[in-house]
Structure 1
């Protein structure tokens, strides 16, 4: 029975990817059934900070576990780049991104220090921050396995790698419209969608360069953690909140669509993707020469 399942899924990668994506969509839209109708479709609030993120720890753990179990069951562990050989060298391409995340996470504290002020969190508040960061890495694992693992594998069965990364990024960004359905204001959601698409381009490029999904998992988790820390520190900052730089579509409803589309992660991701396309093309020519 298991052998037949794996043969069937191996022959229909795009169909299987679409089914798993639809299952995830149904799960995230399901709260519409039992939530207050007056808070749906942009009439609720935007979740921000460690307290909101920390509450998702156990649901995200379950989601990640279920998706991983399905991937193992259908025999896609290698196809989703979970166990493929990791190319160490290209990991250094993520250094500018990591530095950018560190800046985002520390910007409220740096702004406060520049005015001789400081942000103080209690031990209990720091504990919530660390739980939220753990939840953020679980989110990173689930979303990367679903979009840069399952979906990218399905798309690459029908198209070249670069278009597949771009399509997966657009779908990943659009997936965040479920937050609007569940109540998040539309302007914040649109910015979040475009920002997530930019992140998807960067994460997809890293999968192509490294040959593994794990760098993108860690970078995605790092980004969500950095944004969560920034939001939490900004909320506790004695400095006027409008002086704190916008961090991400997750962090600011004021981030315009064009600002999100021209975000550093989008631009850097496109540069990496273009560089990979040139490199892979030359590599193929060298092999056929």
Structure 2
């Protein structure tokens, strides 16, 4: 019974998240969409899932400290990415303080909302009936596929599809963080920090990205960029036993 409820909750979460995106509007970049004010639909979607989790008493989502704390050492490799992002942001230049503020609030909301939706609600429900690896792959595939809806915001479904592939790879890495730390909190915070730094770099260098022809090979950049994290995530998961259903 938990899987249908979880799937319904994630579907409602998607509808709340994309509220207003389906109506006619001028295409805009994802960064522009979260840099001019608080994205209340994202905040609301995350709040909705939190209410569902608390109301149904799902205590296995992972709202606890890492167990053990030493498990946070798995963040050593991805921390290299963060250091490079910080350096890139310094080189490109920061956008206006108000933009940085809204990007911080909204990417924190995205990290919380997406992690609770997929590595929390969906994965934990699937794992009540499926073995570990099928639950991981289904969760990551669904997480990646959902990013195709970004095409309604940007007007570029080809790029959104490539982003979906990159999201699938990132989702597998985030899944590894959850399982190795036995907590969803590190993946939420890392997810938020990753998005914040990338969007800050994008906002700071927005003027240089306007215009020009798009070369087909540039579409390969996001998945190739994520590939090391994907491989690292699979490496981390090698120590996770392929257990049977959790319940």
Partner of 2:192: 221
Partner of 1:263: 227
Unaligned runs of 5+ in 2: 211-216
> For structure 1, which segment, 130-139 or 200-209, has the greater mean C-alpha deviation from structure 2 after superposition?
130-139
After TM superposition, which residue ranges in structure 1, 4 or more long, deviate above 6 angstroms?
Answer: none
Partner of 1:7: none
Deviation of residue 120 (structure 1)? 6.3
Q: 1:127 to 1:208 in 2, by over 3 A?
A: same
Partner of 2:15: 26
Partner of 2:29: 46
Please list the CA deviations of residues 129-175 of structure 1 after superposition, one character each: whole Å capped at 9, or x if unmatched: 13211210111001101100000111101212233122111110101
Q: 1:212 to 1:256 in 2, by over 3 A?
A: same
1:98 aligned to 79, 82, 86, which one? 79
Partner of 2:161: 190
- 2:173 & 2:23 partners in 1: Cα distance? 36
Structure 1 segment 82-231 matched on structure 2, within 5 A: 82-83=63-64, 86-107=67-88, 109-110=90-91, 119=93, 121=95, 125-231=96-202
Structure 1 segment 36-75 matched on structure 2, within 5 A: 36=25, 44-48=27-31, 52-75=34-57
- 2:126 & 2:65 partners in 1: Cα distance? 18
Deviation of residue 231 (structure 1)? 0.8
Q: Give the TM-score normalised by structure 1.
A: 0.72
Please list the CA deviations of residues 184-223 of structure 1 after superposition, one character each: whole Å capped at 9, or x if unmatched: 3122201211111111111111111111111111111111
Q: CA RMSD in A?
A: 2.8
Q: 1:108 to 1:258 in 2, by over 3 A?
A: closer
Q: Give the TM-score normalised by structure 2.
A: 0.83
CA contact (8 A) 1:165 1:201 kept: yes
- 1:52 & 1:83 partners in 2: Cα distance? 29
- 2:23 & 2:43 partners in 1: Cα distance? 22
Deviation of residue 85 (structure 1)? 6.2
Deviation of residue 46 (structure 1)? 2.7
Q: 1:64 to 1:270 in 2, by over 3 A?
A: same
Residue 3 (structure 2) pairs with residue 14 (structure 1) = yes
Structure 1 segment 269-284 matched on structure 2, within 5 A: 269-277=233-241
Partner of 2:213: none
Residue 24 (structure 2) pairs with residue 35 (structure 1) = yes
Q: 1:130 to 1:183 in 2, by over 3 A?
A: closer
Deviation of residue 71 (structure 1)? 0.9
Deviation of residue 176 (structure 1)? 0.7
Partner of 1:247: none
- 2:142 & 2:229 partners in 1: Cα distance? 17
